[in-house]
Amino acid sequence: MSFKSIIQDMKGEFGSISRRGFDVKFGYGMRSRSHRVVQDSSVPVDVFKQSCWANMPPELLRDVLMRIEASESTWPPRKNVVVCAGVCRNWREIMKEIVKTPEISCKLTFPISLKQPGSRDSLLQCYIKRNRSNQTYYLYLGLNQASNDDGKFLLAARKCRRPTCTDYIISLNCNDVSKGSSTYIGKLRSNFLGTKFTVYDAQPPNAGAKVTKSCSTRLINMKQVSPRVPAGNYPVAHISYELNVLGSRGPRRMHCVMDAIPASSIEPGGVAPTQTEFLHSNLDTFPSLLFFRSKSTRAESFQSGPLSDQKDGMLVLRNKSPRWHEQLQCWCLNFNGRVTVASVKNFQLVASPENAAAGQEHENVILQFGKVGKDVFTMDYQYPISAFQAFAICLSSFDTKIACE
């Protein structure tokens, strides 16, 4: 049997499993929620046990899955890799070993990839679409460099104005962007002037992270809370915009302190914290997250310890200074063709000289953001920040900053 025939046969089996389990997975009928969860895991497995793939030798199975992972390298075909991880526990563990983190593979495959540092070798190219009518922002993975009309959805954020601040709620589900959602993964909060922002993660970025007290965390401590409510608010970054009191000409000046990333991460061989799974409280009904669901929330879920136990400090980023173009009479930055419309929101972030390791060799761009059309912006990022952190930083640029311009 040829490899192509094997793939087609596997897709047929997966289709059968998906169709038989679809009604139960999304809870059609009048079953209770607990009953639906049990059925969600039992029906597909029963179907799989009747398949010819159940008795395949482990060595051959691993080889087939490795070939699938290698052949389906881009989206939308990449969804077949996700389907393989959802077949059963055995396949899931194999796929978790085969699929490398974005740092190594330069690919975003599972939802947890959005919390992991980007590629070391190149910028991961994404774009953001803004919906002014409902104050919502959508992050997509770019699939075609020539167009931003088609992409793989990654994250969504909704702007929530409050009397003293503004919150941007970030979710994995574009249709359910709320803090009480099972797909809530974090938020961005600004001060009253919109000059200082804090990025909060819904789960600890490292083993020693401290949670910020809030209404939801107090309820959790009292154990009077639904499992769907996020575990807490862990500050992972602080963003500040320099005040422009004199009204001088020029772009905004940004300063980002990455609380969860050590300054040594930008050095050769440096390591940034890497989350390996979503905690139990972050998911309940979102099927694609089940690939990384665990009954335990042990500290081993994170591949780095707290920054307080490390000798070096936090990574500090600053916006790259533009140059004044005499002929065009404007400030210019080299976005390598990724930005086409002049805007005060456009920026590039590099390591700040405040980092002991920063210098000429660290002038490479870690995050760049810029306008390409009406309500369309590109977002490119790389190691050591994640897609979630990059998205939150870019959201801060959308907020009105009268005192900074």
Higher per-residue pLDDT: 323 or 362:
323
76: in domain: yes
Higher per-residue pLDDT: 359 or 79:
79
pLDDT in tens, 80-135: 999 989 888 888 899 999 999 999 999 999 999 999 999 998 999 999 999 999 99
Determine the Cα–Cα distance for residues 340 and 373; give it in Å rounded to an integer: 8
User: Within this chain, do residues 75 and 161 fall inside the same structural domain, yes or no?
Assistant: no
303: in domain: no
Range with the largest mean pLDDT of 33-42, 244-253, 277-286? 244-253
User: Within this chain, do residues 60 and 192 fall inside the same structural domain, yes or no?
Assistant: no
Q: Which domain holds residue 66?
A: 51-99
pLDDT in tens, 362-405: 678 999 999 999 999 999 999 999 999 999 999 999 886 554 45
Cβ contacts of 215 within 8 Å, gap of 6 or more? none
Indicate the residue type of 74.
Answer: T
User: Within this chain, do residues 82 and 137 fall inside the same structural domain, yes or no?
Assistant: no
- Predicted confidence (pLDDT) at residue 205 exceeds the cutoff of 90: no
User: Within this chain, do residues 164 and 259 fall inside the same structural domain, yes or no?
Assistant: yes
User: Within this chain, do residues 60 and 203 fall inside the same structural domain, yes or no?
Assistant: no
Instruction: State how many domains the chain has.
Output: 2
364: in domain: yes
Determine the Cα–Cα distance for residues 262 and 95; give it in Å rounded to an integer: 30
How does residue 49 score in pLDDT terms, banded at 50, 70 and 90? low
How many Cβ atoms sit within 10 Å of the Cβ of residue 35?
13
For 173-228, give the secondary structure using H, E and C.
CCCCCCCCCCCEEEEEEECCCCCEEEEEECCCCCCCCCCECCHHHHHHHCCCCCCC
User: Within this chain, do residues 194 and 67 fall inside the same structural domain, yes or no?
Assistant: no
Dihedrals phi, psi of 98, to nearest 5 degrees: -75, -45
Q: How many residues does the chain have?
A: 405
How does residue 249 score in pLDDT terms, banded at 50, 70 and 90? low
User: Within this chain, do residues 205 and 337 fall inside the same structural domain, yes or no?
Assistant: yes
User: Within this chain, do residues 148 and 62 fall inside the same structural domain, yes or no?
Assistant: no
Determine the Cα–Cα distance for residues 284 and 181; give it in Å rounded to an integer: 10
In the 8-state DSSP scheme, what is residue 282? G
User: Within this chain, do residues 244 and 319 fall inside the same structural domain, yes or no?
Assistant: yes
Give me the sign of the Cα torsion angle 343, 145, 109, 375: positive
User: Within this chain, do residues 238 and 320 fall inside the same structural domain, yes or no?
Assistant: yes
User: Within this chain, do residues 369 and 265 fall inside the same structural domain, yes or no?
Assistant: yes
- Asked if 233 and 388 touch (Cβ cutoff 8 Å), the reply is no
Tell me the three state secondary structure of residue 22.
Answer: helix
Q: How many helices (H) and strands (E) are present in the chain, helices listed first? A: 8, 14
This prediction's pTM: 0.78
